[in-house]
Structure formats: structure tokens, C-alpha cells
Amino acid sequence: MNRIEREAAARRIMERTPPSVPPELYAEVVRRGGRMLRRRTAAVRLMWLLLFAATVTFVVWALLAQPWVEPPSETTPPLTGW
Amino acid sequence: MGRRRAAQDARRGREFEAFVAGAAGRLLHAATLLTAEPPDDNPRARRLLTLSLAHTYACWDRLRGEDPYDRARQYLATRFSRAAWHQYGSLGALGRTRPHPDSPLARLSPQERLILVLRLYEGVAEEQAAALLGLPTERVHAICDRATATLLHPPRGPAPTVLEAKVASP
């Protein structure tokens, strides 16, 4: 018995008695698949929302704090009584 | 916007229904062979099939010309191999996951069943099966040969349980 015959015999054994597909399968698949899809969409939306909120927060903080402006010097004492 | 969305959903529903009508029988047969359950009582195979088809449904719009059957089969195979990995040696191996003696593949270990079904029943190329399972091609070849031999010339005695199969497979 060569390799091809062996594989054909194994295929024949496996192809006996196919199971019948349950009729409610499609509805269940669409229900689960739709839920997965909705969750994925919601997660993507939440991510965008978080990104947007973080950007807005950063811009507002930057405009208020203005970290690029050199802070006034604190080592030289102010000139008073001149 | 809403009407276009609804039309797109309806079209996707029709396409997916046609796909399920064509593919479910063959995939369910493959899943039943994997889980080694009898054809008329296969809750684990049905669950596996439902999950893989639901996954295919969820990424239907992002397939971009890829074969949905291929995608569903990949998901089925990887999910089964992961489940088989977790059930090895745990309490699950003692009870509900024991192969049913009516199944033609009852004497094989989960990995042997997976490779045999992918290679011979589904006709996946050796290299593709190896890449899918993360094994060297030679190993897939050897396991497939050994599984074929066990299937055609079963050793005498009752079908081994999962625990014995685990000890026998390196």
C-alpha cells in the first residue's frame, strides 16, 4: 500500500457519516458575530474619544501654563530702594 | 448615510448567509472529526463552528478578497489547538473531553486529529498547515504519517483515553 492509497483510505474513513447542520446555527452565528462587531465598533469609538479628550486637555494646559516661556529669574534679588 | 448603511448591511447579510449555507456542512464535519464526537451528538463541534463562523461574520467587511472559508478554517484550527493545549493534563481531560469510541478518529491524540483533518480531509498543503500550527514541516509530515498508520491499522484493545494518548505523544 503506497502513500497515495493510504491517504485515500484515510480520507474515505473520515468522510463517512457527515453530521447534519442544526437549523438554528445561522441565527446564533449572526447574533454572536453581530455582538462581536458592535463591541469592536464601540471599542474603536472609545479609543478615538479618549485620544480626542487627551489632545484637548493637553492643548488647554499648554495654553494656560505656556511652558515654552522662560520663567522669570529667581536668583537675582529685585532692585528696590534705588 | 443611514440608508446606505442599511443597504450595505442587507448585502452583507445575504452574502454571509450564502457562505454559511455552502460552508457550514463541511466545516461542521471537520469540527466533529476534530473533537472526536459522534456525528449525531456533537455539542463541542457545534460550539467551535459557531464561534469560528461568528468570527468570520465580524471580519466580513475587512476580508479584502481573502477567502472567508480559509479564514473560518484557520480560526477553527487555531482555536481547537489552543483548547486542546489547555485541556492536556488538567481536570478537563478526565471527563468531558474523552473521545467518543464511535468517532473514526477516537484513537488519535488531538494534535494528530488536527493535522490529519487539515492535511487529508481539508487538503491544506503541508507548508500551510505547518505555518498555521507553528510546527516544522517535517514534523507535520511525520505526525500525518503516524496518524494515517494508526487510523488504518488500529492497535488492538480498547480505544485509549486522553491521558494515555498524552503519555504516548511526545
Residues of B in contact with A10 (CB under 8 A): 116, 120, 148, 151-152
Could you tell me the sign of the dihedral formed by the alpha carbons of A20, B99, B34, B118, in that order?
negative
Contact A26 B116 (CB under 8 A): no
pLDDT category at B166 given cuts 50, 70, 90 is: very low
Contacting residues for B104 by C-beta, under 8 A, at least 6 apart: A13, A14, A16, B33, B151
Least-confidence region, from A23-27, B2-6, B119-123? B2-6
Of the residues B76, B122, B152, the best mutation for testing chain A's interface (the one with the most A CB atoms within 10 Å of its CB) is: B152
Domains of chain B: 2-168 (1.20.140.160)
Other Cβ atoms closer than 10 A to A76: 7
Residue B15 CA to residue B26 CA, distance in Å, equals 18
Other Cβ atoms closer than 10 A to B57: 25
Of the residues A24, A26, A41, A44, the best mutation for testing chain B's interface (the one with the most B CB atoms within 10 Å of its CB) is: A26
Per DSSP, A72 falls in state P
Which residue among A20, A29, A40 sits closest to B20, beta carbon to beta carbon? A29
Residue B154 CA to residue B103 CA, distance in Å, equals 13
- One pLDDT digit (tens) per residue for chain A, 82 residues: 788 888 898 888 888 888 889 999 999 999 999 999 999 999 999 999 999 999 999 999 999 999 998 888 788 777 788 7
- Confidence check: pLDDT of B34 > 60: yes
Cβ atoms B111, B143 nearer than 8 A: yes
Residues of B in contact with A1 (CB under 8 A): 152
Residue B66 CA to residue B45 CA, distance in Å, equals 25
pTM of the model: 0.79
Other Cβ atoms closer than 10 A to A54: 10
ipTM for the whole predicted complex goes beyond 0.85: no
Cβ atoms B122, A19 nearer than 8 A: no
Residue A42 CA to residue A36 CA, distance in Å, equals 10
- Confidence check: pLDDT of B95 > 80: no
Residue A32 CA to residue B55 CA, distance in Å, equals 8
Query: Residues A55-76: pLDDT tens digits?
Result: 999 999 999 999 998 888 788 7
Asked if the C-beta of A38 comes within 8 angstroms of chain B's C-beta atoms, the answer is: no
pLDDT attached to residue B89? 47
Asked if the C-beta of A34 comes within 8 angstroms of chain B's C-beta atoms, the answer is: yes
Angle of helix A3-15 relative to helix B137-152, nearest 10 degrees, comes to 70
Cβ atoms B109, B163 nearer than 8 A: no
Query: Residues B13-32: pLDDT tens digits?
Result: 899 999 999 999 999 999 99
Residue B121 CA to residue B166 CA, distance in Å, equals 23
